C-alpha cells in the first residue's frame, strides 16, 4: 500500500508540532495553519486524511469541512476534528458537516494514533472500492460506468472551453467467428490483448480507453479534433496490424482487426462535426456509432467519420 498523506490543520503551530510528533511514523505529513491554506493544500494534492482544528480565526474547521464535502474531488477524504470543545452540540455540528470522528484537546497519544489508523483503513477501502467499481474485470481497462462519467465530465468541459472532443467506438471484426474457431477462453485472451494494444495506442495522458461492453471498446480524446482522432485511429490499426493476432476464421484478414467509428464535437465554423440540433453526450456516442456502422459496411478493418 502506498504511504498515506495526512494534512494537519491548526492555527496553533505548537499543536501541529505535538500531533506531528505522534503521527510521523503513520504517513507523510503536511501542515496548514488556517482554513484557506488547508483548502489550498488539499487542492494541490488531495490527502488521505485531514486532522482539523475546529476553532480557527479566519475560517473555522466546520466551514473547511463543509467546503470539502461539497467538492467532488475532496468529499471522500475523512476528517477527524481535533477540538477543545466537547459539547454534544459541537459534536453534532461536526457530524452534520461530514466529520468522521472527533478527538478532544488535550489529545491522548494512543487515541490519536488509533483513530487515525481507523480512518486511514476506511479511506484505503473506499479507494479500493472506487477502483473496482470503475474497472472492467476482464481487461483491466476502465469500464462502461467510468467511461460514461468521463464523457459527461469532458463534454461539459468542451462546452465551457469551446475546445473539441473526439470519441472513438471500436468493435472487433468477426469476433463471433473467433470464439467459434478458437474457443471462448481464447476469445477472452484476445480481448485482453486488444485492450492492452488500445491502451498503448493512446497518445496523451488525458486520453481514456474503456471496454464499452462485449467486444466493443470506446476511447475519449479531449482537445482532439477530427484529423487528430483519425491519427489515433490510424495508429490503432497500425499497432494491431503489428501485433498480428491470428484470426483464421475472419473474412476480413487472417488476423484480428477492428472497425472504428469517429465522432467529434466542436465549433462547426472550424469544420468539426457538430451538425446536431441539440448536442449532448449521447449524440456524440450516436455519431461515433453510426460511423462505426459505416466502417463495418465499407469492409471492416478501417475507420469512418
Q: Which stretch binds Mg ion (CB under 5 A): 37-45, 70-78, 134-142, 174-182?
A: 174-182
Contacts with ligand GH3, 285-304, as mask; x by CB under 6 A = -----------x---x----
In the region spanning residues 18 to 57, those forming contacts with ligand GH3, defined by CB under 6 A, are none
Reported as type and span, the H/E element at residue 217 is strand 216-222
> Rounded to an integer, what distance in angstroms lies between the CA atom of residue 160 and that of residue 149?
17
184 binds ligand GH3 (CB under 6 A): yes
- Grid cell 459534536 is found at 91
Helix, coil or strand: residue 206: coil
Q: Which does residue 191 touch among Mg ion, ligand GH3, none (CB within 5 to 8 A, set by kind)?
A: ligand GH3
Are the C-beta atoms of 195 and 140 separated by less than 8 Å?
yes
Task: Return the residues of window 130-149 that contact ligand GH3 according to CB under 6 A.
Answer: 138
Stretch that binds ligand GH3, among 94-102, 120-128, 167-175, 266-274 (CB under 6 A): 167-175
* Residue 53 engages Mg ion in binding (rule: CB under 5 A): yes
Q: How far is the CB of 122 from Mg ion (least distance, A)?
A: 25
For 223, the 3-state DSSP assignment is coil
**Residue 165 bridge partners (DSSP):** 222, 265
In sequence order, the 6+-apart residues with CB closer than 8 A to the CB of 103 are 51, 80, 81, 82, 83, 111, 112, 115
Q: Is 63 a catalytic residue?
A: no
* Least Cβ distance, residue 82 to Mg ion (angstroms): 9
User: What residues make contact with Mg ion under the rule CB under 5 A?
Assistant: 11, 53, 55-56, 171-172, 175
Amino acid at each position: 500500500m502506498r504511504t498515506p498523506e495526512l494534512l494537519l490543520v491548526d492555527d496553533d503551530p505548537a499543536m501541529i508540532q505535538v500531533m506531528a510528533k505522534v503521527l510521523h511514523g503513520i504517513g507523510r505529513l503536511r501542515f496548514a495553519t488556517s482554513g484557506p491554506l488547508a483548502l489550498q493544500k488539499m487542492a494541490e494534492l488531495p490527502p488521505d486524511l485531514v486532522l482539523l482544528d475546529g476553532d480557527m480565526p479566519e475560517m473555522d474547521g466546520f466551514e473547511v469541512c463543509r467546503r470539502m464535502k461539497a467538492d467532488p474531488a475532496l468529499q471522500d477524504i475523512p476528517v477527524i476534528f481535533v477540538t477543545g470543545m466537547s459539547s454534544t452540540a459541537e459534536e453534532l455540528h461536526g457530524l452534520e458537516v461530514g466529520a468522521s470522528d472527533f478527538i478532544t484537546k488535550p489529545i491522548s497519544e494512543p487515541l490519536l494514533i488509533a483513530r487515525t489508523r481507523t480512518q486511514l483503513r476506511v479511506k484505503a477501502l473506499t479507494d479500493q472500492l472506487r477502483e473496482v467499481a470503475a474497472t472492467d474485470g476482464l481487461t483491466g481497462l476502465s469500464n462502461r460506468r467510468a467511461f460514461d462519467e468521463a464523457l459527461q465530465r469532458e463534454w461539459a468541459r468542451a462546452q465551457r472551453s469551446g475546445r473539441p472532443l473526439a470519441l472513438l467506438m471500436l468493435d472487433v471484426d468477426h469476433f463471433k467467428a473467433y470464439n467459434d474457431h478458437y474457443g471462448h477462453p481464447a476469445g477472452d485472451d484476445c480481448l485482453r490483448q486488444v485492450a492492452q494494444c488500445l491502451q498503448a495506442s493512446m497518445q496523451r495522458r488525458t486520453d481514456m480507453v474503456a471496454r464499452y461492453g462485449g467486444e466493443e471498446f470506446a476511447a475519449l480524446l479531449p482537445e482532439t479534433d477530427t484529423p487528430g482522432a483519425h491519427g489515433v485511429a490510424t495508429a490503432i490499426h497500425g499497432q494491431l496490424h503489428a501485433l498480428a493476432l491470428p484470426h483464421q476464421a475472419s473474412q476480413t484478414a487472417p488476423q484480428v482487426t477492428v472497425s472504428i467509428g469517429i465522432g467529434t464535437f466542436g465549433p462547426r465554423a472550424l469544420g468539426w462535426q457538430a451538425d446536431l440540433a441539440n448536442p449532448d453526450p449521447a449524440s456524440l456516442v450516436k455519431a461515433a456509432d453510426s460511423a462505426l456502422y459505416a466502417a463495418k459496411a465499407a469492409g471492416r478493418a478501417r475507420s469512418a467519420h
